[in-house]
Amino acid sequence: MLITAQSQIQNLVTELQQHNYNYYVLAMPQISDYDFDQKLKQLEQLEKENPTLILPNSPTQKVGGELTKTFENFEHQWPMLSLGNTYNEQDLIDFDQRIKKAIGDDFEYVCELKFDGLSMSLTYQNGNLLRAVTRGDGTKGDIVTANVKTIRNIPLQINGNNIPQNFDIRGEVFMHKAAFEKLNQDKIENGETPYANPRNFASGTIKMQDSAEVAKRPLDCFLYFLYSDNNPFKTHWESLSAVKSWGFKVCEHNRLCQNMNQVLEFIKYWETQRFNLSYDIDGIVLKVNNYQQQQELGFTAKSPRWAISYKYKAQEVETVLQKVTYQVGRTGAVTPVANLKPVLLAGTTVKRATLHNANEIYRLDLYQGDTVLVEKGGEIIPKIISVNRDKRLPNAQKIIYPTHCPECSTQLVRTEGEVAFYCPNDEACPPQIVAKMQHFIGRKAMNIDGLGAETIETLYQKGYLKHISDIYTLKNHEDELKKIERFGEKSITNMLAGIENSKAMPFEKVLFGLGIRYVGETVARKLVTYFKTIENLQAASIEQLTQADEIGDRIAQSIIEYFLEPNHTQQIAALKQCGLQFESNQQQKVLASNKLTGQNFILSGTFEKYSREQLKEMIEANGGKILGSISAKLTYLVAGDNMGPAKLEKANKLKIPLISEVDLLRFLA
């Protein structure tokens, strides 16, 4: 039986690695996402049943789970030097002349896009990912292997021809614009400060302490340079082709250029075309192609003499602020938007720019009709960076952030410690009502087929929808709906079928769909696991709520306030009447014993006999509970090697007993 499981695991790992290569490197997937996920689940189940057979290169190891309090430094074998850079063509021509003077005219350039991300060095040994290190100061960087392993297109194991036994490969970790915009929108709706740009977000993500959280963030990575004592290739262009065949993602826009004229054509082309990319670049890198010629040219103290980067100037333009309008989001957050005189910027016509919050309006000291400088450099959404006060109109009116909701005139509120103002009238403010229903039907919530955001808006305006529960009464208006323009019989039938099918969605999806502030997908799942029913959740006190895994005071207070509102409890009652699930269908775990019942644990560091995940499962199987952070509720801190000093200090301060892996196993014996 063990041999069969081992063979199944090996075959699935090999197959899934190939599918990952097809998807991330070749961009030619051979199976659907659903089929891939089913095979991955099969592998996860086999590994759960046979933990000793888990392979280090298994795709399941990309879900994270390791905690790192402090990052260990590591000295780069090949320093990660910075490149000389320029903003003008003459400097490139001068660079070309210096190359010719040193090695003659017989050479080529490789031109590459200069990604705006986080530089990373990956070390492979015998085909396996050994280490991932940040650039740091160029000589030493931080080891972030656990976090980098979660990036889908970075292979844990490679196969192919001419692979050196030991090598480093350099690349850039980044985030696509669309993913960044969505994450920022979620932060704005939750009243949190948005990230400045994708690069900062990617950098902050790589330095997170919990690799499981890193795994949830959609990072990507291009690889672009190979280092080895035994490099089998003569040119950089050959090596790029080879590393792609090994399983690494290489940018498809690289170009081999025969002379500086071709280089300048490449630069000019991407000056405008870069805005059509799904990710940010801030320039072009050119490198002498031949490795022998690179060695001949050598290095300065800071940078290679055989490479240089051309950086595009930041995209800025002056235009006129026509007015400031205010958007009300699902949570009631009121976001100011600058409406501008249309102007061409970074390849697109810009009519609006973000102002984030009231603080930004006051920081800029905005007046009606101001001439403003708008930027779209590292930012995805255009933003106003300054005001030209010399062009301010006489008698211009200062822009004052409103005290009342622009949609329903309710007085705005601002919670201490938060930057956003909110409209508290969530049951009668039109954009909030519509946005809540749009959230409820979304893919991550009730996933109602045939009912989209525009349809919700139309049905609200026609008076058929006023509350979430009204969605489930639309079947009573089927004949009337057919009279609405663009509402065909087939689309109505599909919509009503989708609504009916959504009644089977599990409790955690319903809870997330309700749109309680701070209750996202993960929090909803934790609450359902702990409280089981909506009645238990409604009756819980703040103290009881914070007993649940990862539920803090802010989330608990938001839940209490939500259930204090009569309209909310009425809606829940109506949804229950419609047949939605408000009770967990999760099967009760059968405990191996009650030896640890009532005891709370945190695992920190690395362990010798078992992985952290295996120890966690042992604790929970015997009635114990894993906490998210050190507090007075903690019974034991299970300390492994390399435990973070801050965690140890806090545990000692609270007089939390420290036990070892051996002690824990003794408890369970």
Neighbours of 555 (CB within 10 A): 22
Cα dihedral 503→505→507→512 (10° resolution): -100
CA gap 85, 94 in Å, rounded = 12
CA gap 85, 543 in Å, rounded = 57
Residue 39 in tokens: 């095979």
Q: What CA–CA distances, in Å, run from 308 to 11, 82, 255?
A: 45, 9, 15
In sequence order, the 6+-apart residues with CB closer than 8 A to the CB of 612 are 65, 66, 67, 603, 606, 640
CA 31 to chain CA centroid, Å, is 24
CA gap 637, 658 in Å, rounded = 5
Output DSSP code: residue 21.
I
Phi, psi of 388, deg, nearest 5: -85, 95
Strand partners, 600: 625
CA gap 169, 239 in Å, rounded = 10
Neighbours of 593 (CB within 10 A): 10
Residue type, 292: Q
CB 469 within 8 A of CB 576: no
CA 506 to chain CA centroid, Å, is 25
CA gap 307, 86 in Å, rounded = 12
CA 633 to chain CA centroid, Å, is 31
CA gap 476, 479 in Å, rounded = 8
Active site residue 182: no
214, exposed or middle or buried, with CB in 10 Å at 0-12, 13-18, 19+?
buried
Q: Which residue in this structure is represented by tokens 């789970």? A: 65
Among 41, 48, 101, 114, the active-site one is 114
Q: Which residue in this structure is represented by tokens 């973070």? A: 644
Within 230-291, strands assigned E span 255-257, 281-288
In sequence order, the 6+-apart residues with CB closer than 8 A to the CB of 592 are 621, 622
Dihedral of CA 617/618/622/623: which sign? Answer: negative
> HEC profile for 29-94?
CCCCHHHHHHHHHHHHHHHHHCHHHCCCCCHHHHHCCCECCCCCEEECCCCCCCCCEECCHHHHHH
CA gap 15, 19 in Å, rounded = 6
CA gyration radius, the chain: 29
CB 439 within 8 A of CB 456: no
Closest residue by Cα to residue 513 from 448, 441, 457, 465? 441
CB 527 within 8 A of CB 551: yes
73, exposed or middle or buried, with CB in 10 Å at 0-12, 13-18, 19+?
middle
Residue 232 in tokens: 């089998």
CA gap 154, 164 in Å, rounded = 18
Active site (catalytic) residues: 114
